[in-house]
Structure 1
Amino acid sequence: MTAIQPGNATVPVDGPAATPAAPATRVLLACSVAAAPLFAVVSLAQAFTREGFDLTRHPLSMLATGGLGWIQIANFLLSGALTVAGAAGLRRVMRGTPGGTWAPRLILVNGLMTAAAGVFVMDPGDGFPAGTPLGQTGTLSWHAFMHLVAGSIAFTALIAACFVLGRHFSRAGRPGFAAASRFSGLVFALGDGWAMSGGRAGSLTLAVGAITAMVWIAVVAADMRAVLR
């Protein structure tokens, strides 16, 4: 077993036998590259166009409610599926490297729980969808509770994955990528923590943190994909 490190990710290679897997691995990594832009663009496009939605008060998950909620539900499901596929690609290229076991596993959990968050939809509330009374509902429905559970697991897994990738890149001698990984995880952790504490505009800080971490995973996948030919 040897390893190549052509200025990008460290990729274990087991002679010529590794070559046939490269095209399939590139496809899997491309799924990871696509997941974050898809989720961010579809979510933000709705956030700025759907009547009654206020990103400083409403989490992006609430876009799954109302007559057009199917768009965000599909966004969760497809983004989750792409993330799961991307995790398989990351597992292939990171095998045998520091963090090569846990980073893909955590990203896999994130993808599965993202899809689950699309299956279990939040309750309407605080003026959204348009016409819903202001303020929070008194009791969570069972599916809203499951959404919160799935979301919490997805967030924790993605934050942890960023810090594991920080260790991976530190050991690979790539301090810039290591710092960016840890910064992304920290931004997400702080944004999530602020939102959970009931801080002002917490849904906005949560969205910024989540998208920052997701985009960073896409950058990492693109970087590792560039190594494969």
Structure 2
Amino acid sequence: MARHGTTSTTGFDTAAAVTRSMLGWGAVAGPFYLVLGLILALTRDGFDLARHPLSLLAVGPGGWMQTVNFLLTGAMIIVAGWGMLRALERRGPGAAVVVAGAGVLLAAVFEADPVAGFPPGQEPAVSVHGMFHLVAGGVEFVAFAVAAILLSRVLSRRGETRAGLVSLLLGIVVLLGFLLGGALAASPVGVALLWLAVVASLAWLLLASIRIYRIVPHPDGC
């Protein structure tokens, strides 16, 4: 567990308070991304949740809103990952979560290519920035899977076998969902698998942030 400093006058552990605050963003990031993404998906002409991944919302008129969603979510994930680094003294998932957040930021910088049917009126295309977008997504999902596996080891060593197993299973779901979804991306099954990878990775982030938050000592020493 990370060392935390206590002030001599108040007995308040400022470092622990900061770490807990950083971990809190990991619980916020997933709901924020999904709620805003679904609102945009339901209000953009031509977008079909059964056929299109959320990343396509960054393409075309109004795409800047999904780009902002990526940027804010990526920043929150990085902050949460840094909090995990502080809480676990650089052991476990923190570094991998920071990498995952960086992947989200890169996905914002390099937008996806148009596909058949979205955005309306645009022809499907393959471009360099679209390829970089796919690479950024790969970095994100693989990093989340690695983070989940690493946390499962940390929790198992702490005797939290069930929580460790849940983390491991979510990591496997993220990795398989991404790999199979990418291979079948042109079909509804592939899109559904990519959705599964997104939801599983963000659910893991939420659960992991809460679990590690509980490991950090209370700032008041309670």
Q: Does 1:101 align with 2:95?
A: no
> Aligned equivalents of 2:157 and 2:93: distance in 1?
14
CA distance in 2, matches of 1:204, 1:75: 21
Equivalent position of 1:141 in the other structure: 127
Matched, 1:224 2:212: yes
User: The residue matched to 1:147 in structure 2 has which SS?
Assistant: helix
Kindly state the Cα deviation for residue 194 of structure 1 after the two structures are TM-superposed: 1.8
Which of 46, 64, 70 lines up with 1:52 in the alignment? 46
Deviation (angstroms), 1:101: 2.7
Listed as ranges, the matches of 1:7-22 within 5 Å are 11-13=1-3, 16=6, 19-22=13-16
Counterpart CA distance in 2 for 1:67 and 1:171 is 50
Distance apart, 1:84 and its partner CA = 0.8
CA distance in structure 2 between the partners assigned to 1:228 and 1:42 by the alignment: 33
- CA displacement, residues 104-126 of structure 1 (integer Å, 9 cap, x when unaligned): 11100000110110011112221
Q: Counterpart of 1:8? A: none
After TM superposition, give the deviation of residue 46 of structure 1 in Å.
2.1
Match of 2:147 among 134, 140, 161: 161
- The separation in 2 between residues aligned to 1:47 and 1:223, in whole angstroms, is 31
Q: Closer, same or farther in 2 for the Cα pair 1:32/1:209, shift >3 Å?
A: same
C-alpha separation in 2, matches of 1:204 and 1:90: 30
Q: Structure 2 CA distance, aligned partners of 1:46 and 1:20?
A: 39
In structure 1, how many angstroms separate the alpha carbons of the residues matched to 2:52 and 2:69? Answer: 17
Following the alignment from structure 1 to structure 2, what is the Cα–Cα distance between the partners of residues 213 and 69?
23
For residue 48 of structure 1, give the secondary structure of its aligned residue in structure 2.
helix
Kindly report the root-mean-square deviation, in angstroms, between the aligned alpha carbons of the 2 structures: 2.0
Letter in 2 for 1:191: G
Q: How does 1:197-216 map to 2 (within 5 A)?
A: 197-198=183-184, 200-201=187-188, 202-216=190-204
Give per-residue Cα distances to partners, 1:174-199, cap 9 Å, x unaligned: 12211111121122122112212226
Aligned twin of 2:106: 116
The 5 A counterparts of 1:54-133 are: 54-95=48-89, 100-133=90-123
Distance (whole Å) between structure 1 residues aligned to residue 33 and residue 5 of structure 2: 37
Residue aligning to 1:177 = 163
Deviation of the 1:49 alpha carbon = 3.0
Deviation at 1:19, TM superposition (A): 2.3
Q: Using structure 1 for the length normalisation, give the TM-score.
A: 0.84
- What is the total number of aligned residue pairs between the two structures? 211
Q: Is the CA contact (8 Å cut-off) linking 2:184 and 2:191 kept in structure 1?
A: no
Tell which deviates more after alignment, 84-93 or 18-27: 18-27
Structure 2, unaligned stretches of length 5 or more?
none
Whole-angstrom CA distance in 2 between matches of 1:15 and 1:132: 56
1:43 to partner: Cα distance:
1.4
Distance 2:138 2:148 in 1: 16
Equivalence map 1:13-32=2 (5 Å): 13=3, 16=6, 19-32=13-26
Percent identical among aligned pairs is 34
* 3-state SS, counterpart of residue 32 of structure 1: helix
Q: Which moved more, 1:175-184 or 1:17-26?
A: 17-26
